[in-house]
Amino acid sequence: MTRPRQSADTPSLTATVPRQFVHRAALAETLLTGWERTGPDRFTVYAQWPRAHGLHVSVDWHSYDPLLVVETVRQAGTLIMHTEYGVPLDQQFVLNGFDVATDPHRLEVGPLPAEPTVELAFTDVRFRGRRPAACRYTARVLCHGEPAATADVAFTCVGEAVYRRLRGGRTAGTIEAVPLPPGLPPEAVDRALPTDVVLASPDPDPGAPGGRWQLRVNTAHPVFFDHPLDHVPGMLLLEAARQAARRALPGKPGPSAYRAVFHRYAELDEPVWIEARDEGGGHLQVVGVQRESAVFECGVDAAAG
């Protein structure tokens, strides 16, 4: 049995939650507006999605990208761990796995910003002493009261001293990302701006049933690097999987589901290679490789036609 704290006062739905609770620096990237406890280890989190976004709304402003669901669910779990389970704000959260399945028909942009609710169930919270050290939770995302997505998330909590030992002295101020290689054409990966392209021109292998690209890591990107980091963020790796699917599965609808496992930190100062294998039926297996070993793996499913 987990041991959550007493629920904090629910913030007003007219304002975002404190950005520190969701590990964001920009208010514009803080998607959550409130939360409440609904039962033992169960919570409802409230959010608002903008009708236009630099990354997670389609170019024609018609639909929300499933990765906006991912970011919302991530923020929701982070918020609850801080406010309800007592994880200090100086703790680092290390993402281990993230599975999400969305219904694209429930992700259309309407005449007003969407206000989804996220129903969370914390199924496994492990403690070290009195503080959580790891957790697993499931999420059910509702838009206009209708189910739009489900997710399963696992991460660990690491104190500042332990994190620094794990990072071996690497900090955002001492590590520089590898130079940016030329990117794919934005239209090839369903992006409007060259600065949002995270895949470089591919290795010449026209017979491969998928593709291989160097990851483009731009630490000036205001969404992926909302604040300085000493490693490649998980959301950037998932965006690479999304763009690999758009490139390797031409003619298929955009991705609607991701099944990601994160093995270790992807370092900024060494190249990361994104390898994709078309498994047929709109399924793609993506692997991020650095130093000849996998840093993450992700199965991607295209939406049903």
In this predicted structure, what is the pLDDT of residue 57?
A: 94
Least confident of 1-5, 206-210, 228-232: 1-5
What does the pLDDT average to over 37-42? 97
12 pLDDT higher than 60 = no
What is residue 50's three-state secondary structure? coil
What band does 209 get if pLDDT is binned at 50, 70 and 90? low
Q: Which residue has the tokens 């003619």?
A: 251
For the segment 8-30, the average pLDDT, to the nearest whole number, is 81
User: What residue ranges define each of the domains in the chain, with the CATH number in brackets?
Assistant: 19-165 (3.10.129.10), 169-302 (3.10.129.10)
198 pLDDT tier (thresholds 50, 70, 90): very high
For residues 77 and 203, the model is more confident at 77
Mean of the pLDDT values across residues 218-230?
Answer: 96
Q: Report the sign of the C-alpha dihedral through residues 290, 288, 52, 31, in that order.
A: negative
Above pLDDT 90, what percent of the chain?
85
Per-residue pLDDT band at 203 (split at 50, 70, 90): low
The C-alpha atoms of residue 170 and residue 174 are separated, in whole angstroms, by: 6
Q: Say which residues have a Cβ less than 8 Å from residue 262's Cβ, sequence separation at least 6.
A: 94, 95, 96, 97, 98, 234, 237, 295, 296
Is residue 133 within 8 A of residue 157, CB to CB? The reply is yes
Q: Residues 119-142: what's their mean pLDDT? A: 95
In whole angstroms, give the CA distance from residue 103 to residue 256. 7
Identify each DSSP E strand in the chain by its residue range: 32-39, 42-47, 92-102, 117-128, 131-143, 146-158, 210-214, 255-262, 273-280, 283-290, 293-302
pLDDT at 90: 92
Q: What is the pLDDT of residue 3?
A: 42
Over 70: is that where the pLDDT of 93 sits?
yes
Whether 122 contacts 135, CB under 8 Å: yes
Chain position carrying tokens 């660990």: 156
Residue 96 pLDDT > 60: yes
Q: What residues contact 201, with CB distance under 8 A and at least 6 apart?
A: 181, 182, 183, 184, 213
For 277-300, what is each residue's pLDDT tens digit?
999 999 999 999 999 999 999 999
- Is the model's pLDDT at 1 over the cut of 50? no
